[in-house]
C-alpha cells in the first residue's frame, strides 16, 4: 500500500506542476482548503479520484486514511510551491539521484540556525506529542510555512510524507513508529543537499 500511496501522490504532483506551467487554479483551491471535504477542495477531486485505487476511496463520504494522507501531502506541496518557479519536490534517500529531503530532514537543516531553534523545537515537539492526525497535519502546515519563510530552496519528498501520514493513521503502534522516524530525521544532522539551482546549500 505504501508504494501505491507514494506513486499516486507523485503522479498528482507532477500533473499539478505540469513541467513548470503549474495548474494555478487547482493549487490555489488546495491551499485554501484544510481538508479534502472542504468545498474549496473540489477542484482536486477529479484528479485524485482518477488516480486512486478503488480500495482507497470512501463509500460513505468519510475520507479514508489514504485520501487524508494524499490530500494533506498535496496541500503542503501547494503551499510550498506558491511563488516559486523551480519544482519544490525532490526524492529523498541515499540514491544518487535523490535531490530532496524528508520534511523533518529539511526542518533539521533549519534547526541549525540558533535564532529559530527554540521556537522550531517547541512546534515540532508539540507535533510529536499528539496522536490526532488532523492536529499533526495542522502542525505540519505551520512548519512548512516557517520553512518557506526562511527562503529555503530545499526540495521536499511529499510522496514519502503521504506514506508516513497513511501509516500514522493505522494504529497506535505504527503511529509511534512514524513519530520516532520523524524524530530521528529532525534531530539527526543532515549534510547539505543540492538546491534547485544545483549549488550546495
Chain centre distance of CA 160: 8
pLDDT, one tens digit per residue, over 132-157 is 999 999 999 999 999 999 977 899 99
d(C-alpha 143, C-alpha 136), whole Å: 10
Query: Cα 128–131–4 angle (5° rounding)?
Result: 90
d(C-alpha 141, C-alpha 99), whole Å: 22
pLDDT exceeds cutoff 50 at 117: yes
In this structure, what C-alpha cell is assigned to residue 30?
A: 488546495
- Which pTM value belongs to this model? 0.91
d(C-alpha 167, C-alpha 45), whole Å: 22
With the C-alpha atoms ordered 164, 50, 59, 53, is the resulting torsion angle positive or negative? negative
pLDDT the model gives residue 191: 52
pLDDT the model gives residue 96: 75
pLDDT, one tens digit per residue, over 157-166 is 999 999 999 9
d(C-alpha 75, C-alpha 127), whole Å: 18
Distances (CA, A) of 4 to 61, 72, 111, 126, 178: 22, 16, 32, 30, 18
Residues in a beta bridge with 131: none
pLDDT exceeds cutoff 70 at 51: yes
Residue written as grid cell 510522496: 159
Using pLDDT thresholds of 50, 70 and 90, give the confidence band for residue 197.
very low
Q: Structural domains in the chain? A: 2-89+100-187 (1.10.520.40)
pLDDT the model gives residue 2: 61
Query: Cα 145–148–150 angle (5° rounding)?
Result: 115
Amino acid at each position: 500500500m505504501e508504494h501505491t500511496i507514494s506513486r499516486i501522490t507523485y503522479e498528482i504532483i507532477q500533473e499539478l506542476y505540469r513541467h513548470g506551467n503549474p495548474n494555478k487554479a487547482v493549487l490555489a483551491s488546495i491551499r485554501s482548503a484544510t481538508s479534502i471535504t472542504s468545498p474549496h477542495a473540489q477542484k482536486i477531486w477529479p484528479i485524485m479520484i482518477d488516480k486512486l485505487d478503488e480500495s482507497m476511496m470512501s463509500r460513505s463520504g468519510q475520507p479514508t486514511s489514504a485520501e487524508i494522507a494524499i490530500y494533506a501531502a498535496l496541500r503542503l506541496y501547494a503551499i510550498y510551491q506558491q511563488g516559486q518557479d523551480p519544482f519544490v519536490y525532490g526524492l529523498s534517500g541515499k540514491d544518487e539521484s535523490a535531490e530532496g529531503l524528508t520534511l523533518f530532514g529539511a526542518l533539521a537543516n533549519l534547526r541549525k540556525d540558533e535564532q529559530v531553534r527554540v521556537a522550531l523545537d517547541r512546534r515540532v515537539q508539540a507535533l510529536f506529542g499528539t496522536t490526532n492526525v488532523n492536529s499533526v497535519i495542522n502542525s505540519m502546515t505551520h512548519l512548512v510555512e516557517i520553512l518557506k519563510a526562511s527562503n529555503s530552496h530545499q526540495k521536499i519528498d511529499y510522496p514519502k510524507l503521504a506514506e508516513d501520514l497513511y501509516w500514522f493513521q493505522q494504529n497506535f503502534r505504527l503511529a509511534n513508529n512514524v513519530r520516532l522516524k520523524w524524530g530521528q530525521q529532525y534531530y539527526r544532522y543532515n549534510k547539505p543537499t543540492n538546491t534547485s539551482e544545483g549549488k550546495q546549500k
